[in-house]
Structure formats: C-alpha cells, structure tokens
Structure 1
Amino acid sequence: MAGLNVSIAFFFLVVGVCQALRWISKRLLSPGAYGCLARELAGSLQLCTSCLELRMLLEIGPWSGGFGPDVVLTLLFVLFMAHGASFDGASSNPTVSLQEFLLLESNLAATAAKLLAQGAGVGLGWALTKLYWSCELTHFHFIQNLIASECSSSIRVSLHQAAFAEGTCSFLFHLLLLKLRQSHPMYRVPALAATVTFLTYTAGPFTGAFFNPALATATTFHCSGSSFWDYVQVYWLGPLAGMLAALLLYQGNIPRLFQKNLFYSQKSKYKMPKVRVAVHREADELWRKRKGEKSHPEPRA
C-alpha cells in the first residue's frame, strides 16, 4: 500500500500546484486571457497527470499492488469531484469547447485559444508525469518505466465498435452536461463525477473510455497496435459525433449552423380556451349593438 499512498500524495500535489497556478494567473492576466488560456492549460495539466497516474495504477496495481479496479474507480470519482470543484469553469475537453462554440457561448478566437491551451496542457502533463515516473519512487513506477516503450493500443474491439463506444460515452456525458449546466455546482459536480466513473467502468475494458480527444491523444496515440487514422476515428470523430448528437437531441438544432428546430415545435405556452373566446365575442357584439342604438335614437311621435 506504500505505492498507493505515494500516488495519492501525487494527486494532492498536482491539484495544489494547478490551483496555485490558477490563483496566480487570475491576478496577473486579463479575464479574457485567463479564461481562454491559463485556466484551460491548468485544468488540462491537472486532468492529464491525474489520469496517467490512474491508468498506471489500473494496469499494474491488481497484480503488483494487490488491489482491484474498485480502488482505482473510487480514486477516479474523488478526483473528478476535486476537478469539478477546482477547475473554475474550465472544460479541459475539446468537445466541450466546441459545444460552447456551437451554442454561441464562445467566439471562434476564444475557442481556438482554448483548444491550443488544452493541447499544451496535456502535452505538459504527459512530459511531467514521465519525469515523475523516471524518479521511480515506488515499484509501480519502476515497472511502468520498464513497459512504457511497449505499451499497446487501448482499442480492444473492432474499429466500429470502439468508435460507437466512445461516441456513446460522449453522447451521455454531453447530454447530462447540457441538462445540468444551469444547476448549482453542489449537484452538478457529483452527478458528472458519478457519470464519468460509471462510463469508465462500463466502456473502459473496450476503449479506455476517454471521450476526451486531448486526453486520449496524450495517453494512447503513441502506443502500437493501431494506426493514427484508427485513433482519429475512435478518439476524435467518435466523441465529436456523440457531442453533436447530444446537442441535436437536447436543443433540436445547432444555433451556430442553423436556427430551425428539427425535433421540437415552438408552441405558445399560453392558450385561451375556445369557450372563453366565444363568450368574449358575444359580449363584444352586444356592446356594439347597444352603442349603435344610443348613437341613433328613434324620433318621437
């Protein structure tokens, strides 16, 4: 359990360093630069380093540490709770940033800046985690360094099944995200953390259940067993298709592309009953008749 304790301490250190980075950049940068660059970079760095360490524990822990996947899933839930509480509005996910762009919540320049910051964050997180593993503080890290050059692809089913699995995970995640985006963080953060944990438990054995193109690129694209185009189809196009399907189902349209609602008719919330309309018409006709009689009185004999 000593190795597991070192990993837990590493998680706390990563969250603390990234939180300090957010605190400093928020005071030095303008709100626009902080929201598009520093916040996304810190969030992606935090997410990537945590997920790489969790992936290492999931692969090596059961036979080297004697603990099962339930320990890793519990850590995953706790970490995503911490991420949701500390990200300060960052998505750290390209499909979420593209969703905000399609919803007219972000312009093209801000979206491009977020995507670049996310790529830089996961790249920096991958490099720092490799450096941390090279210190070989535990036997987990020693074994990881031995097998790192021979990692295999996370795609363990056919290409179409893998793309469908990643797309389905992305669809469910984005559908819940759209439903809860106006909710209080007290309810939104645990719900999203539980959903990510469930999807990882369900689809993890087939594709790794990333449904985050930036995270998947840093984690598994360098592994042998699948071509670059296979990875693109599964980990880029699959989550993107899932996000678009969730947006269409929830909104009925894509505001950035077209305004016409394809699924839901726009009806007025307030309708006047037909009986009441008829009564109003009869009263109006009676009032006009009386007014006409008063304006044209009959001559006296």
Structure 2
Amino acid sequence: MAGLNVSLTFFFLVVGVCQALRRLSKRLLSPGAYGCLARELAGSLQLCMSCLELRMLTEIGPWGGGFGPDVVLTLLFLLFMVHGATLDGASANPTVSIQEFLLLGSNLAATAAKLLAQGAGMGTGWALTKLYWAWELTPFHLIQNLIASECSSSIHTSLHHAAFVEGTCSFIFHLVLLKLCRSYPMYRVPALAATVTFLTYTAGPFTGAFFNPALATASTFHCSGSTFWDYIQVYWLGPLAGMLAALLLYQGNIPRLFQKNLLYSQKSKYKIPKARVAARVEGDEMQWKRKEEKSNSEPRA
C-alpha cells in the first residue's frame, strides 16, 4: 500500500501544480490566449501525467501490489471527477476540439492552437512522468523502468476490431458529452466520469480504451508490436469516425460542412392543437361570409 500512497500523492501534486498554472496564466494572458493555449496545455499535462501513472498501476499493481481492478477503476472514476471539476472548460482531447469546430463553436485558428497546446501538454506530461519514474520512489516505478524499454502495443485484437472498439468508445463518449453539454456541472461531471470508467472497463483489454488521440500518442505510440500506421488507424481515425457518427446522429447534420438536416425533418418547435386549428378555420370562414353579405347589402350606384 506504500506504493499506492505515493501514487495518490503524485496525483494530488499534479492537480495542484496544474491548477496553479491555470490561475497564473489566467492573470497574465488575455482570455483568448488563455482559452486556446494555456488552459489546454495545463489540462493536457494534468490528464497525461495522471493517466500514465494510473496505467502503470493497472499493469503492475495487481501482481506487484496485490490490489485488483476495482482499486484502479475507483481511482479512474475519482480522477475524472477531479479533472471535470478543475479543467476549467479545457477538453484536453483533439476530437472534442474538432467537434467544437464542426459545431461552429470555434474558428480554424483557435482550433489549431488548441491542438498544438494539447500536443505540447501531452508530450511534456510524458517526459515529466518518465523523469518522476526514474527516481524509483516505489517498487512499482523500479519495475516500470525495467520494462519501459520493452513495452508492447496496447492493441490486443485484430486491427479492424481495435479501430471499431476505439470508434465505438468515442461514439458513446461524444454522444453523452453532446447530451450533457448544457447540464449543470454537478450532473455532467459524474456522468462523464462514470462513462469513461465503464468504457475503460469494457474496452480496456482490447485497446486500452484511450479514445483520445493525443493521450494514446503519448502513451503507446512508442511501444513495439504495431506499426505507426496501425496506431494511426486505431487511435486517430477510429475516435474521429466515432465523433463524427455521434455528431451526425445527435444533430442530424454537421453545421460546419452543410446546413441541411440529413436525418430529421424540420418541424415547428410548437405544435398547434387540431381543435384550435379547426376553430380558426371556422372563424375565418364566418368572417369571410359576413364580409360578403355586407358587400352585397350595400347599394349600388
């Protein structure tokens, strides 16, 4: 349990440092620069370092520390609860940023800046976590350093099935995100955390259940066992296809590309009861008859 306590301390430190970085950058930078760069960089840094440490516990903890998947899944749920409460609106996920662009929520320059900040945050998080593991504060980290150079791919199924799994996870995640985007944080954050935990539990044995291209790139692209193009298909094209499918199902169209609704008919938001329509028609007919009778009764010159 000593190793688990060290990891918990690491999680608290990462969240605290990233929170301080957000507050400092909010004071020094303009709102635009903060929203597109600093906020996404801090959020990606926090997400990457936390998930890498948690992945290490997932792989080594069951036989090195004696705790099972229930501990890891509980930590995952709590971590995403904390992420949802502290990220300050950052997505730390390229597919979410691209979805905002397709929904006309941000322009091309802002989206590109977010993607660059997410990549920089994930890369920095990976480098700092490796440095932290090199200190070997626990037996977990010692074992992680020994096997780090020989890590294997997270794809444990066929390539097409792996891409389908990541795409399905992304589809479900984005569908829940779209449904809850206007909900109160007290409802949205636990729902998203529960969704991520369920998807990780279900799809983790097949692909690791990243459904976040930047996080997958930092976590598994350097491991042997799969080619770079295999990783691109599974961890980039799969989640992007799932996001597009969720957006099309929820909206009926993709606003950035076309305005016509492809799935749902455009009906009036307010429906008029049939009885009221019939009464209105009868009233129009009576008014027209009265006008006609009045015009007939008038003397002709």
Interval containing the TM-score (normalised by the shorter chain):
over 0.9
TM-superposed deviation, 1:293: 4.3
Match in the other structure for 1:132: 132
Question: Distance between the aligned counterparts of 1:278 and 1:218, measured in 2?
Answer: 67
Gaps of 5+ in 1: none
Is structure 2 residue 19 aligned with structure 1 residue 47? no
Match in the other structure for 1:238: 238
Question: Distance between the aligned counterparts of 1:270 and 1:59, measured in 2?
Answer: 56
Q: Cα gap change, 1:252/1:217 in structure 2, threshold over 3 Å: closer, same or farther?
A: same
1:158-237 to structure 2, matched below 5 A, reads: 158-237=158-237
1:278 to 258, 276, 281: 281
Question: Distance between the aligned counterparts of 1:72 and 1:119, measured in 2?
Answer: 26
Question: Distance between the aligned counterparts of 2:34 and 2:124, measured in 1?
Answer: 18
**One-letter amino acid of the counterpart of residue 252, structure 1:** G
**One-letter amino acid of the counterpart of residue 283, structure 2:** H
Name the SS for the 1:150 alignment partner: coil
Q: Percent identity?
A: 80
Per the normalisation by structure 2, the TM-score is: 0.97
**One-letter amino acid of the counterpart of residue 119, structure 2:** G
Question: Distance between the aligned counterparts of 1:101 and 1:289, measured in 2?
Answer: 58
TM-superposed deviation, 1:292: 1.4
Question: Distance between the aligned counterparts of 1:175 and 1:22, measured in 2?
Answer: 28
TM-superposed deviation, 1:138: 0.3
Question: Distance between the aligned counterparts of 2:290 and 2:120, measured in 1?
Answer: 75
Question: Distance between the aligned counterparts of 2:173 and 2:238, measured in 1?
Answer: 13
TM-superposed deviation, 1:256: 0.3
1:86-97 to structure 2, matched below 5 A, reads: 86-97=86-97
Gaps of 5+ in 2: none
**One-letter amino acid of the counterpart of residue 284, structure 2:** R
Match in the other structure for 2:81: 81
TM-superposed deviation, 1:66: 0.2
**One-letter amino acid of the counterpart of residue 279, structure 2:** R
TM-superposed deviation, 1:283: 1.4
Match in the other structure for 1:291: 294
Question: Distance between the aligned counterparts of 1:12 and 1:217, measured in 2?
Answer: 24
Question: Distance between the aligned counterparts of 1:132 and 1:296, measured in 2?
Answer: 103
Moved >3 Å (runs of 4+): none
1:95-134 to structure 2, matched below 5 A, reads: 95-134=95-134
Q: Cα gap change, 1:290/1:272 in structure 2, threshold over 3 Å: closer, same or farther?
A: farther
**One-letter amino acid of the counterpart of residue 291, structure 1:** K
1:199-251 deviation digits (Å, cap 9, x = unpaired): 00000000000000000000000000000000000000000000000000000
**One-letter amino acid of the counterpart of residue 188, structure 1:** R
Name the SS for the 2:104 alignment partner: coil
Question: Distance between the aligned counterparts of 1:128 and 1:102, measured in 2?
Answer: 33
Question: Distance between the aligned counterparts of 2:14 and 2:286, measured in 1?
Answer: 75
Question: Distance between the aligned counterparts of 1:60 and 1:205, measured in 2?
Answer: 15
Question: Distance between the aligned counterparts of 1:95 and 1:137, measured in 2?
Answer: 35
The alignment's C-alpha RMSD in Å is 1.2
